Amino acid sequence: MSEDKHSGYPLFPLGIVALPSEGVPLHIFEDRYRRMIEHCLTGAPGTLERSFGILWLSDEELKPIGCSCEIEQVLERTEDGRMNILVRGQRPFLLHERQDSLPFPAGVIEFLHDDEPESEPEAARAARELYRELVRQATDREIAQDELDEMSAYRMAATVEFDTDAKQELLELRSESERMRRLAVLLESAIERISLLERAQARARSNGKVRFA
């Protein structure tokens, strides 16, 4: 088995998609997943043993490509054994087969690599400028250029509330340039939605009247 392929890897099918670098809060209450998290907590921070895989369980199927997530913090434990935890997305992986021999869901997975690790400059520039504009409009924050230049498509997407289909599409792309180009389209749509919302709110405040200064 290659170094990127792992057997008995813990799996957590959920109705969400996690992206690399994204922080995801989870409430753990089902017994088998409590056992899974306790198993992962025996691993040292920064090791594979500290992680598990989130796979999107959509209405149609369990998606075969997911994201490994490392447990960063146990936020709360209740007397009945439930937990609130914070995990951080790490790496995309492909599920080869499910395994039923462990006391929690697991499988044989293989971590995925990009065919093209570096992004085309124009694709990256366009996505980052749109991201800068979205952050400016949504939060009034101005991102420093050096901070923006270091942001990958995953890092930018992880801070925006895209729908699960869009996030899964980004997770499955094996080229940073392709992710940047797709992210640019998603960011343009998000900026347009903000503009439409602002116009709708302005109309509501006007009570149907045109206001002049």
Contacts of 59 (CB under 8 A, 6+ apart): none
Q: What is the mean pLDDT of residues 115-130?
A: 90
- Percent of residues, the chain, with pLDDT higher than 70: 92
- Percent of residues, the chain, with pLDDT higher than 90: 83
In a domain, 23, yes or no: yes
* Domain boundary, last residue among 92, 111, 130: 111
DSSP string, the chain: --TTEEEEEEEEEESS---TT-EEEEEE-SHHHHHHHHHHHTSPTTSGGGEEEEEEB-SS-B-SEEEEEEEEEEEEE-TTS-EEEEEEEEEEEEEEEEE-SSSS-EEEEEE---SB-SPPHHHHHHHHHHHHHHHHHHH-----HHHHHT--HHHHHTTS---HHHHHHHHH--BHHHHHHHHHHHHHHHHHHHHHHHHHHHHHHHTT-----
In a domain, 213, yes or no: no
In a domain, 116, yes or no: no
Examine the domain organization and report whether 78 and 134 are in the same domain: no
* Domain boundary, last residue among 60, 88, 111: 111
Which band of pLDDT confidence, cut at 50, 70 and 90, is reported for residue 1? low
CA pair distance 93, 88, nearest whole angstrom: 15
Examine the domain organization and report whether 131 and 104 are in the same domain: no
Give the position of tokens 């099918």.
13
More confident site: 7 or 118: 7
Which band of pLDDT confidence, cut at 50, 70 and 90, is reported for residue 27? very high
Mean pLDDT of the chain: 91
pLDDT in tens, 40-80: 999 999 999 999 999 999 999 999 999 999 999 999 999 99
* Domain boundary, last residue among 58, 80, 111: 111
Examine the domain organization and report whether 52 and 126 are in the same domain: no
Q: What is the mean pLDDT of residues 161-182?
A: 97
Using the predicted structure, report yes or no on whether residue 210 has a pLDDT greater than 80.
no
Examine the domain organization and report whether 9 and 107 are in the same domain: yes
Examine the domain organization and report whether 93 and 137 are in the same domain: no
Examine the domain organization and report whether 144 and 182 are in the same domain: yes
Q: What is the mean pLDDT of residues 172-201?
A: 89
Using the predicted structure, report yes or no on whether residue 7 has a pLDDT greater than 60.
yes
Q: Report how many domains make up the chain.
A: 2
Residue 86: which CATH number?
2.30.130.40
- The pLDDT of residue 200 is 55
Which of the residue ranges 105-114, 143-152, 188-197 would you say has the lowest mean pLDDT?
Answer: 188-197
Examine the domain organization and report whether 27 and 81 are in the same domain: yes
The whole domain housing 74 covers 5-111
Examine the domain organization and report whether 30 and 103 are in the same domain: yes
Examine the domain organization and report whether 40 and 128 are in the same domain: no
Examine the domain organization and report whether 93 and 125 are in the same domain: no
